[in-house]
Amino acid sequence: MEDLYESFFRYFEIVRADKPELLDAAYRMRYEVYCKENAYEDASGCPDQRERDEFDDFSVHTLVRHRRTGHFAGVVRLVLPRRDSTQPLFPTDIHVERRYLKSQYSMFGQGREKTAEISRLAVSPEFKRRIAEHGTLAGVSGNASYGNGHHLGAFDRRLLPHITLGLFAGIVQMSAEYGITHWLALMEPTLMRFLMRFGIQFRAVGPLVSYHGTRQPAIADASEVLDAIHQRRRDVWDILTMKGTVWPLTAVRHESNGAHSGV
């Protein structure tokens, strides 16, 4: 039986939005999801039908594309850290009390210079309609059961996990490129529970907040998350890290760094 890695790359590809036309596609999908489908953002403020905000000047995007149709199925951005402390560094800074974030940074022993925020994660309305999960950003139902990745059913049943895992693979790739070690997120509770089924576990940061619906502020150590996934769901780890080529296990990473530095 075809494994999860082979199945994903047979149907989808991960595309960095590093060209104007790809970034344009990312903004268009954000408009479709955040302005038209959910009305979280004011469509009248996007006369060109592209949703953008002040954080896009410090962000990178990834798209997931359906190979057969060429249509983009999902989008996510990573808001990168910057030096200008006179303005909020991340969307989370606006919506979460600072004391909760500070306690989590202390727990990890990590500052903000290697932290990025996962943001604007969304699945195309076209693909959500195919699985009857419209009305949410990631197309995740709190009641659906998506299996464990080993026994794949009909195409529509495996569609959503593939898209979501592809978006997280994009997050891992962007994080590796920019030296990001920790992630922040304001996440749909249903999405957070869904990700846990695949071993992708974030820590809650304080109480739920109201922002684009009810959201759970969360934080994660990227290496800690990925190492745990390797132990629990090797099939998922293969997709997120491209079988370790993008983000090796922590032990391998440390050995590599030691050999390079002569330690």
What is the span of the domain harbouring residue 221? 4-261
Q: What is the pLDDT of residue 102?
A: 62
pLDDT band, very low/low/confident/very high, at 250 (cuts 50, 70, 90): confident
Q: What is the pLDDT of residue 47?
A: 95
CATH of the domain at 78: 3.40.630.30
149, pLDDT greater than 70: no
As for how many domains the chain has, the answer is 1
How confident is the model over 79-104, as pLDDT tens digits?
999 876 666 788 888 887 776 666 56
How confident is the model over 23-73, as pLDDT tens digits?
999 999 999 999 999 999 999 999 999 999 999 999 999 999 999 899 999
How confident is the model over 169-228, as pLDDT tens digits?
999 999 999 999 999 999 999 889 888 988 899 998 888 998 888 999 999 999 999 999
With beta carbons less than 8 A apart as the criterion, state whether 74 and 166 touch: yes
pLDDT band, very low/low/confident/very high, at 118 (cuts 50, 70, 90): very high
Q: What are the tokens at 46?
A: 């996007």
